[in-house]
Each structure stands twice: as C-alpha cells, then as structure tokens.
Amino acid sequence: MDKIDMSIQENVATFVTKLPKVILLCVVIYLISLNFKTANEVPKNQEVKAEVSNIVPLDAVKKYFPTCTSVEKVNEVHYVVKAGGEEVGKLLVTTPIADDLIGYAGNVPLFLAVSEEEVILGLTLLDNSESPGFLRRLEKKNLFSAWDGKTLEEAALLNVEAVSGATMSSDAIRGSVKRVLEFHLERDGGGFEVDWVKLLQHVLGGIVVLLALASMFWGSRMKRWRYVLQVSSVLILGFWSGYFVSLELLFNWLLNGVPWGARVLLPVIAVLALACPLFLNKAYYCAYLCPFGAAQELVGKVRKKKIAPKGVWKNIFKYTRVIYFMVILALLLWGIPLELASLEPFPAFLLTAATGWVIALAVIFLLLSVFFARPWCNYFCPTGALLDILRKADTKAGSERRKKVIREFIALAIFLVILYFILR
C-alpha cells in the first residue's frame, strides 16, 4: 500500500513538473486556433450586397442560378433561390441535419442545387474540415457529379458506390445526400441498416487498441505478441481503416471540434495518444500503436545491425524532430496556412488518396529504416515531438526539481501577463 501511495505521489509530482511547458504549449495552440478562426470570420462592418443565408454563400449559388439575388430559408434543409423576388430554384442543405456524418477529419456539409423541375443541377461543398487530398480524390472520380441530372425521387433511390482510397469522405458525402433527400421527401430512411464490414473494422481496430494498451502495461509478458501487434497496426489501422494520429488531424479537430460519432475509435486513439504520455508518462501511441512506426520496425528486421549517429551528427539529430515541430508551430502561429498532410508520411496508407510526394516520403523512410532504427519516429516526426513534450519530465532530486518548477511557473506567469497586455 505504501508503494502504491509513493507511486501516486511521484506521478503527481512528475505531472506538476510538466505543467509550465504544457500550459505554454496550450497557449500557443490556442493562439494558432484563434488566428485561423479569426482569418475566416467576416467583418461585422462588411457591406451586405444581397440577402443571403449565413450557411450558403451567394457566389456558390450563382454557379447554378446566375440571376440569383437572394436565398431564403424555408425549413431546416430547404432554401428558396430567388431572382428579383421570383423563385428560380431551390437548395437542399445538409447542415445541420447530417453534421454527425463524419469523413476523415470532420463532417462535409454540402448543398444540392435543384431546378424548378425538381432536377438536381449539381452538388457543392460548403466550408468543411475534411482533408483536401481526399476531396481531390473524390473530384477526380466524379463523385460530386453522380447525382447530376437526376430527379429528387431518382436521386433518393440511387446507390452511389464509395470511392476506394477515400471511403470515409465518400461515405460521409453519400450519407449526407441520402439523409437530406429523405428529409425533404419526408421519408423515414428505411430503418436502421447495419454495415457489417464497418462493424468488423471497428471491432478488429478496438482489439488492436486494447492489445497495445496491454503491451504498454505488461511489456515483458506481451513481448510474444509484439509482431502480431505491429502487423495488425499496419494492416487494420493503417491500410484498411486509415486510423492514425497526425498534425493535420489534430489541427482540423482543434479548429472544428472532435467528430465523436460513427467513427468513435479514431478520437479514442487520439485521446489515449495524448493522455497516456501526459498522465502516465508512457509513449503509448508512438511505441505500440502507430502504423507507420510499426511499418518501419517490420522493414527494419531485414537488417539487425543498425547505424547509430555519433559525434556531431548525434547532437544534430537529437534536436531535428523538436526543431521541425517548432518551425511548423511558428509558421502556423504566424498565420501561414500549411498543407499539413504533406509534412508527414502517414497518409501514404491511403494509397489512392495520398499525393506522390507523401508516398515518396514514406518509401524513403521505410528504406532508411533498414539501416537506422525507426528514422522517422526518432529524428523527424512532429507528432511524436508533440507527444514527447507531454511525456518527458524533470527527473532531478526533489528540492532541485521544486526550485526549477517554481522558476518555470514564475517565467510563465510573466510571459502570460506580457502576452495579455499585447493582445489587449
């Protein structure tokens, strides 16, 4: 019992030592989110040239109705398009009734432009947090035009296939269109349908997550399962599900909220990835669950003897990962929009949706892993650097550690006071 109490006290003391840098990191991340959210806001004093919904931009409507002068809301999904007071068509908008249908990084709101003859003229995406790479994939495969020329009745019965390599995004869009049509046509949707493939995907993914947790807590007893865990992580979480924690994912969730819902496993993985290093001082995600880390380790088995950086190179590579992460943070803090998906190799698991650059990046580091131990994880991964900031703590003796923490809290307080007056 005394050992347990001492362990709890040590964990609490360790957590306190992390607080200054964690608070500082949270402040920086908050400023980044504030920066990008503010950039997307419409100035209050901006002149309004026409009456238009806050959800549907007038310019997007004019693509289908060039003479449009206003858009008026009729009900939750139905918007009337008018030209000089005369109705020329309508829009069916999927937000908010389909906001729970999540793509990869968030929901994908859209509207269907419908003629006076009840024929769909086209589909247009509204502001969304989905990964641009997946949306480009869907556009190339003509998913957005799949309903063009169909009447509302025909579109409601149409079975549009998901796009391979961007199934999460295409499922969200197909589901949103189906729901808005059923709502408008006052149908019940035919009852609840179980997608057995998705259910199996979630069950197997959950087993992999639990196996990784068991390996973290009972490492020595779970060694014989290490190979099974790595292969499962690569095949089930990586190639099949596309479930991985990345800066792009976290940044989109920061701006648009965490998409709890049908794909609850991915937010659970992200929460565990952040909570375990912060509260338990354990590298759960990086060491046991990351699909790309597992892929590097599996490829690395080709050559047992690895090259370890020495001398000057050792000192350089000791800081490359943190520097890479800090540069990304600085650019985002400066308000420079970055294509975060292209800065990490993780989207390469979604082969048909990933860019050539991302696939090349993944291949390069997989080849390097033959000679170096997990080179991306150890020397470059910005997501790993973020999780390491949450995990690492001062291990000095009690009195020295307390003095250092006090100094850090004083420095942080001064910084926050200065920042407050600057922002005010």
pLDDT digits (tens, 9 = 90+) for 384-410: 999 998 887 765 656 666 666 677 667
Q: How would residue 190 be classed by pLDDT, with cut points 50, 70 and 90?
A: very low
Residue 125's H or E segment, with its range, is strand 120-125
Q: Average pLDDT, whole number, for the chain?
A: 82
Instruction: Please check the confidence at residue 262 and state whether its pLDDT lies above 80.
Output: no
pTM of the predicted model as reported, rounded to 2 decimal places: 0.75
**What is residue 45's predicted lDDT score, i.e. its pLDDT?**
44
b/e map 131-149, b = 16+ CB within 10 Å: bebbbebbeebebbebbee
* 397, burial (CB in 10 Å: exposed 0-12, middle 13-18, buried 19+): exposed
What is the C-alpha separation between 246 and 235, in angstroms, rounded?
Answer: 18
- Which residues have C-beta within 8 Å of that of residue 288, sequence separation ≥ 6? 212, 213, 215, 216, 229
> Once rounded to an integer, what is the mean pLDDT over residues 59-63?
88
**What is residue 217's predicted lDDT score, i.e. its pLDDT?**
92
